[in-house]
Structure 1
Amino acid sequence: MNGLQEMILIGEIVLQSKIAQRAAGRLRATHENFDHVETWCSIQSILVSVGNVSKILWPIEKYKGRGVELRKILKVEKDNPLSNRKFRNHFEHYDERVDEYFSYNSQGLYIDLAMNPSLTSGIFGDLPLNTHRGYNSFNNTLVFRDEMLDLNEILVALDDLLTNCKPYSLSTYYKK
């Protein structure tokens, strides 16, 4: 990877990180003035931006070396939460998740886009059954069926990465 390519890719990481940060700010604003569409728009923006960063740092096999090199330069650990694109995939391939669900379940109950689903949880904090996508504004977590994603953890990892990008990218990306 040459210096220009490195600078371009790190610049893209910075841009995608800034997009996710702005979306997180919009998401926090929906807590006070509830806007259902803006809530899910912001969540989707965060997931897509984080997914784009993940693809740069953990690319397909053909570009694996580039990913290794960038992770080393930017001091990104193997267990970094940005490496997991599962939730982004749940949202991006939602149609497939619906098809899969109904191929195994013929029941008519389908709860989607639930707000604060853990508040309606069962005993001992179990996730409610049949919640397909949910957002808990109290602890900033996402639910997809029986899985949970802590957006705070993702956003902290993104902030750490952004800090590590500063010495390697164009300073114009850091202006607000």
Structure 2
Amino acid sequence: MNLIREGAFITELIFQAELVSHSHERLKDSVDDFDKIAVWSCIQSILISSGNISKILWPISKYKERGKQLRELLKIDSESVLKSRKFRNKFEHYDELLDDFFKDKNIYSYTDLAMNPSLSSSIGESCHRGFNSYNNTLVIHGEILDLNDIVDAVEQLKLKCESLFI
């Protein structure tokens, strides 16, 4: 990969990492302000930006070699938490999750965008999307993502990228 192309991708990785970092800081403030819309906006931004990082480092097969070269340059483990786009995809395709949930059911319990769902015994498995501000975890249809793991991995990636410019 030539230096200009490599630099462009490294710069984009830094930009996406900054978006994650900024959104994470805003998330903390939004929780403190009890601003539910801002909380979910920040979570979605973290998922989208970390998903963009994932697409750069683990691209579609057409660009597979570029991803491999960047991961080698940045010493990114193939099992990095950044590889998975599962939670980003669940947000992006939430309409499909809803269709699947409501299909062929006569009785429903539906709770969405819950704050601190694990603190309420009445929500349980009916929580479609929930955020636990005490430990910074995201719950989607019973699956849990620790946002701290994402934010930490993105920060480490950013430091690696920036070190290439020194």
TM range (shorter): over 0.9
User: Are 2:161 and 1:162 aligned?
Assistant: no
Is structure 2 residue 111 aligned with structure 1 residue 134? no
Residue correspondence of structure 1 range 77-156 to structure 2 within 5 A? 77-121=77-121, 128-156=124-152
Query: What is the percent sequence identity of the aligned residues?
Result: 47
Unaligned runs of 5+ in 1: 172-176
Task: Kindly indicate whether the alpha-carbon contact (under 8 Å) linking 1:114 and 1:133 is maintained by their aligned counterparts in 2.
Answer: yes
Contact persistence 1:116–1:137 (CA under 8 A): yes
> What's the TM-score, normalizing by structure 2?
0.95
Query: 1:49 & 1:12 partners in 2: Cα distance?
Result: 10
Deviation at 1:118, TM superposition (A): 1.0
1:37 matched residue in structure 2 = 37
Structure 2: which 5+ residue stretches go unaligned? Answer: none
Distance 1:84 1:121, change over 3 A: farther
The answer for the alignment partner of 2:49 in structure 1 is 49
**Shift in Å, 1:130:** 1.3
Specify whether residues 32 and 5 from structure 1 end up closer, same or farther in structure 2 by C-alpha distance, changes over 3 A only. same
Q: Where do 4+ consecutive residues of structure 1 move more than 4 Å?
A: none
Tell me the distance in 1 between the aligned counterparts of 2:105 and 2:67: 39
Look up the SS of the partner of 2:126 in the other structure: coil
1:7/1:168 contact within 8 Å kept: no
Q: CA deviation at 1:104?
A: 4.5
SS in 1 for 2:107: coil
Amino acid at match of 1:66: R
- Alpha-carbon deviation of 1:31? 2.2
Query: Relative to structure 1, is the Cα distance of residues 163 and 104 closer, same or farther in structure 2, using a 3 angstrom cutoff?
Result: farther
Range with bigger deviation, 131-140 or 30-39:
30-39
Name the CA distance, whole Å, in 1 between partners of 2:51 and 2:76: 15
Q: How many residues align?
A: 166
Residue 167 of structure 1, CA deviation: 2.7
Alignment of 1:12-23 (within 5 A): 12-23=12-23
1:57-78 Cα deviation digits (max 9, x unpaired): 0000111111110000011001
Taking structure 1 as the reference length, the TM-score comes to 0.90
Stretch deviating more after TM superposition (98-107 or 129-138): 98-107
Secondary structure at the residue paired with 1:161? helix
Q: Tell me: CA distance 1:101–1:6, structure 2 relative to 1, closer, same or farther (3 Å).
A: same
